[in-house]
C-alpha cells in the first residue's frame, strides 16, 4: 500500500474539527492529522471550563478523545508544514480567518479544503454576504474564481483536480441535494417559487456560549431565525441556478444537538406521478452512495442519518400531481461538514468515495 497522506487541521477545537479528527483517525489512507493551533487561540470555551489556559492537547478540550494516544496542538509555519511532507490542509476556522489563511497555504503549494463560507460564493451579488471588501486582493479574486464548491454529487470532476475546495454549508447541502434532481430534469415551476423550511440542531450554531445556545433557551423550544437573510441562501441559489427571489429559505433552531431536516416545497410545472418523481431522484443519484432515496411509501426522519455521512431523501406528492414536498435529512457535522470534507478528500486523491466514512 502506498504511503499514507499527511494532513493538518486548523481549528480542530470546534465541533466540526473534532468530528474531522475522529473520521481521519479511522481513515485507512491518511496519517493521524497534525493539529494546528491558531495564534492567540486560547480555546477558553471548553466544557471543562478551564478558561484562560492554553490547551496543549485536544483531549484537554474534548475529554472524550482521551485514551487514544494524544492529540497535541502545535504552532507551525506553512514552510514547516511543507517540510514535514503535509500535502492537504483542512480549515475549520471562521470565514475571516480562512480568508486570510488560504492564500498563504495555496502559495506554498498546499491543497486546501475550507469548511467556512469564505470561498463558496461566486456571484457579485453575493459579495457582501461575508463582509469581505469588494475584491480584497488580486490573489483573493483569483482564488474566488478557482475555488471549487465541494459537493461531490454535483462537482466530482472539478473536485478531483481542485487545489482549493470550499466545503458547502450544512443547510445548503440539505437543500441543494433535495432540489437538484428536479431542477436538472426541468420539472420545477421556478417562477412559482420554492420554499425550504429547514430545521437544525444546535451544533450548527457553533460552540461559543451565547444567550441563544444556553440550554434553557433551546430546550422545550423552537424558533425561526435569519428569515430572508441567512448566508446559505446565496450558496443554494448559485449552485441551483436560481434567482435569489425564487427561493424562500427559513432556518429554525431545534432542541437537539445535531441534525438537519429540510422540508422543501416545490410546484411542478406539470402533473407527475409518484413513480416519475421517484425515477427522477433515483436516476440522478444512481451510483451516488451518500444519498439515500427512500422508498416512496416511507419518509426519512432526522434521526436515521445521525452519525452517518448520508443525506436521506423522501417525498410526498399531492393528488394534483404538482404540489411536491421533499424531505431531506442529514447530520450537520457529517454530510453537512466533516463527513463531506472527507468525501471531497477521497475524490481529490482518487480514492473510493466511501473510504473512511463507514
Q: Give the residue with the Cβ less far from a second copy, 265 or 351.
A: 265
Grid coordinates representing 321 are 400531481
- Does residue 220 interact with a second copy by CB under 8 A? yes
Is residue 171 within 8 Å of 251, Cβ to Cβ? yes
3-class SS of residue 10? strand
Q: How far is CA 307 from CA 9, 219, 246, in A?
A: 21, 21, 32
Q: Map the footprint of a second copy across residues 123-162, applying CB under 8 A.
A: none
CA distance 227 to 345: 33
- Does residue 67 interact with a second copy by CB under 8 A? yes
Q: Give the residue with the Cβ less far from a second copy, 46 or 184.
A: 46
List 158, 170, 280, 311, catalytic entry: 170
Q: Could you give the residue ranges of the DSSP H alpha helices within 13-94?
A: 15-26, 58-61, 78-83
**Contact with a second copy (CB under 8 A) among 75, 209, 241, 273:** 209
Task: Give the other-Cβ count within 10 Å of 39's Cβ.
Answer: 6
Q: How far is CA 107 from CA 29, 42, 143, 260, in A?
A: 25, 28, 11, 36
CA distance 168 to 177: 11
CB of 300 vs a second copy, minimal distance in Å: 7
- Does residue 215 interact with a second copy by CB under 8 A? yes
Pairing of strands 148-149, 164-166: parallel
CA distance 324 to 266: 5
**Contact with a second copy (CB under 8 A) among 74, 275, 316, 352:** 316
Q: Map the footprint of a second copy across residues 4-43, applying CB under 8 A.
A: 15, 25-26
* Cross-strand partners of 313: 293, 328
Per-residue mark of binding to a second copy, 327-346 (x: CB under 8 A) = x-------------------
Q: Is 170 marked active-site? A: yes
Q: Reading across the β-sheet that carries 7-10, which strands appear in turn?
A: 73-74, 34-36, 7-10, 88-91, 111-114, 164-166, 148-149
Q: Map the footprint of a second copy across residues 36-65, applying CB under 8 A.
A: 44-49, 63-64
Q: Map the footprint of a second copy across residues 241-260, applying CB under 8 A.
A: 245, 248, 250, 252, 254-259
CB of 31 vs a second copy, minimal distance in Å: 16
CB of 61 vs a second copy, minimal distance in Å: 10
CB of 149 vs a second copy, minimal distance in Å: 24
**Contact with a second copy (CB under 8 A) among 77, 137, 223, 273:** 223
- Does residue 183 interact with a second copy by CB under 8 A? no
Q: Give the residue with the Cβ less far from a second copy, 144 or 336.
A: 336
CB of 144 vs a second copy, minimal distance in Å: 25
Cell 437543500 belongs to 175
**Contact with a second copy (CB under 8 A) among 115, 306, 330, 342:** 306
**Contact with a second copy (CB under 8 A) among 39, 52, 186, 211:** 211
- For 157-191, the three-class secondary structure string (H helix, E strand, C coil) is HHHHHCCEEECCCHHHHHHHHHHHHHHHCCCECHH
Q: Map the footprint of a second copy across residues 87-116, applying CB under 8 A.
A: none
Q: Give the residue with the Cβ less far from a second copy, 166 or 187.
A: 187
Q: CB-hemisphere CA count at 13 Å for 350?
A: 2
Catalytic residues: 170
Amino acid at each position: 500500500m502506498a504511503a499514507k497522506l499527511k494532513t493538518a487541521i486548523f481549528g480542530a477545537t470546534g465541533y466540526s474539527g473534532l468530528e474531522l479528527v475522529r473520521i481521519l483517525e479511522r481513515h485507512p489512507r491518511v496519517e493521524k492529522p497534525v493539529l494546528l493551533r491558531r495564534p492567540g487561540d486560547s480555546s477558553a470555551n471548553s466544557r471543562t471550563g478551564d478558561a484562560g489556559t492554553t490547551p496543549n492537547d485536544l483531549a484537554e478540550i474534548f475529554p472524550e478523545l482521551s485514551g487514544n494516544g494524544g492529540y497535541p496542538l502545535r504552532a507551525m509555519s506553512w514552510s514547516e508544514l511543507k517540510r514535514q511532507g503535509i500535502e492537504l490542509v483542512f480549515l475549520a476556522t471562521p470565514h475571516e480567518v480562512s480568508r486570510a489563511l488560504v492564500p498563504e497555504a495555496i502559495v506554498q503549494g498546499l491543497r486546501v479544503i475550507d469548511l467556512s463560507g469564505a470561498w463558496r460564493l461566486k456571484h457579485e451579488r453575493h459579495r457582501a454576504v461575508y463582509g469581505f471588501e469588494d475584491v480584497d486582493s488580486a490573489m483573493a479574486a483569483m482564488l474566488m474564481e478557482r475555488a471549487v464548491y465541494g459537493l461531490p454529487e454535483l462537482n466530482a470532476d472539478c473536485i478531483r483536480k481542485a487545489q482549493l475546495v470550499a466545503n458547502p454549508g450544512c443547510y445548503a447541502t440539505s437543500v441543494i441535494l433535495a432540489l437538484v434532481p428536479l431542477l436538472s430534469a426541468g420539472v420545477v415551476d421556478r417562477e412559482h417559487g420554492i420554499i425550504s423550511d429547514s430545521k437544525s440542531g444546535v451544533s450548527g450554531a457553533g460552540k461559543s456560549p451565547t444567550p441563544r445556545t444556553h440550554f434553557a433557551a433551546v430546550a422545550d423550544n423552537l424558533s425561526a431565525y435569519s428569515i430572508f437573510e441567512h448566508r446559505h441562501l446565496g450558496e443554494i441559489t448559485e449552485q441551483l441556478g436560481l434567482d435569489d427571489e425564487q427561493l424562500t429559505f427559513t432556518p429554525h433552531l431545534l432542541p437537539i444537538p445535531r441534525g438537519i431536516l429540510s422540508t422543501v416545497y416545490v410546484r411542478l410545472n406539470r402533473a407527475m406521478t409518484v413513480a416519475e418523481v421517484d425515477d427522477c431522484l433515483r436516476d440522478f443519484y444512481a451510483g451516488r452512495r451518500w444519498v439515500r432515496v427512500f422508498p416512496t411509501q416511507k419518509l426519512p426522519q432526522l434521526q436515521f442519518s445521525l452519525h452517518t455521512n448520508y443525506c436521506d431523501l423522501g417525498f410526498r406528492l399531492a393528488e394534483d400531481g404538482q404540489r411536491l414536498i421533499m424531505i431531506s435529512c442529514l447530520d450537520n457535522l457529517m454530510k453537512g461538514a466533516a463527513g463531506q470534507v472527507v468525501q471531497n478528500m477521497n475524490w481529490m486523491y482518487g480514492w473510493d468515495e466511501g473510504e473512511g466514512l463507514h
